[in-house]
Amino acid sequence: MLLTFLSKFAGIILALLMLFSPAAPPTPYEVTDADTLSLSFAIIADTHIQGIDTDASSQFGEAIRLIRGINDMNSAVTPPDALIIAGDCTMNGQNMENSFLQAALATSKLDNLILAAGNHDLWEYEYNVSRNRFTSLYNRLTGRDIDKVNYATKIEGHYFIVLGTDENIPLPDGSGMSTAQAFHEAQLKWLEDTLAIAANETPGRPVFVINHNPLAGDMALNPVYNILNACENEIYFFYGHMHSQFFTTTKWGNVRFVNVPAFHQGADSKVSGWGYVVEVYENRIEFRPRNFLTSEWLGSGFGFNVA
């Protein structure tokens, strides 16, 4: 009951603020080739929604910018099949912040929503409390019934696999929580089994993996990487967390890592609002960097042939 009230309250506030802070209407965009498109999705990261910003000059600014970015996605001539946020959806995982996030995401007209849990979504409270808040939010938004931060979904014949830490790791000096992730054996086994299902059901199609953090340490010793690299399908691993303003990609073995810039970089619309429109075709994947706040493409992007 309280969460329903908070979400309605957040929606009213955001609607009023949008009314009194109008922005230029988004410029509708087109995919590269609508006739042969198999799947497209918009992916952003690090939206860091706050219910009440400590900086009064940008009060509720993160949620308003997310709504404006979603308006750009909604305006596409061929709308994306999904919106993905690669973690740190909120600043602290608080109920009020989740309510403002829910109110902002309610403006999306896209058919699918994928959220990954980042360190900011989970570390403010005891892990199980934060995890349950995150999964409850996702279930309210999507009608699903997940109970863990790792889950999988299938969109237009393509698998999307979401990973997340199984515990919060305290800093050695006890001053807070580390940003490091911990993947328990149960999640690793689940990942291996899910990839096997994806390879069997969708042979030759890329599998998209979303995790807030980049994988750490020596790849040869990283259990997540070794499981991904053993999959028969090509893996595209999206991560945020770095708060970079660069669109970068690198490939190790069978896994291509794709960095997603931070959507929230303050009130400057020239550096906030960045993400990708990803277009999947039969034999190629196009990554098109876009500023969803200014409705502008950011360079020519890059693409890869599907093996």
- So what's the pLDDT on residue 57? 42
Q: Which has more pLDDT, 227 or 10?
A: 227
- pLDDT at 54 exceeding the cut of 60: no
Say if residues 252 and 236 touch (Cβ distance below 8 Å). no
- pLDDT at 18 exceeding the cut of 90: no
Residue 271's alpha-carbon distances to 44, 110, 254, 264, in angstroms, are: 13, 24, 32, 8
Q: What's the pLDDT tens digit per position in 224-259? A: 999 999 999 999 999 999 998 889 899 999 999 999
Provide the domain count of the chain: 1
- pLDDT at 56 exceeding the cut of 50: no
Instruction: Give residue 188's domain range.
Output: 2-305
- What is the distance between the alpha carbons of residues 76 and 82, in angstroms, rounded to a whole number? 12
- pLDDT at 174 exceeding the cut of 90: no
Closest C-alpha among 18, 122, 131 to residue 70: 18
- So what's the pLDDT on residue 220? 87
- So what's the pLDDT on residue 229? 97
Residue 280's alpha-carbon distances to 12, 37, 74, 78, 180, in angstroms, are: 37, 6, 19, 13, 31
Residue 300's domain is classified under what CATH number?
Answer: 3.60.21.10
Backbone angles phi, psi at 174, to 5 degrees: 75, 10
Q: DSSP letters along 110-144, please?
A: -SEEEE---HHHHSSS-HHHHHHHHHHHHHHHHS-
- pLDDT at 25 exceeding the cut of 60: yes
Q: Which residues contact 294 (CB under 8 A, 6 or more apart)?
A: 269, 270, 273
Q: What's the pLDDT tens digit per position in 116-165? A: 999 999 998 999 999 999 999 999 999 999 999 999 999 999 999 999 99
**291 forms bridges with which residues in the sheet?**
274, 296
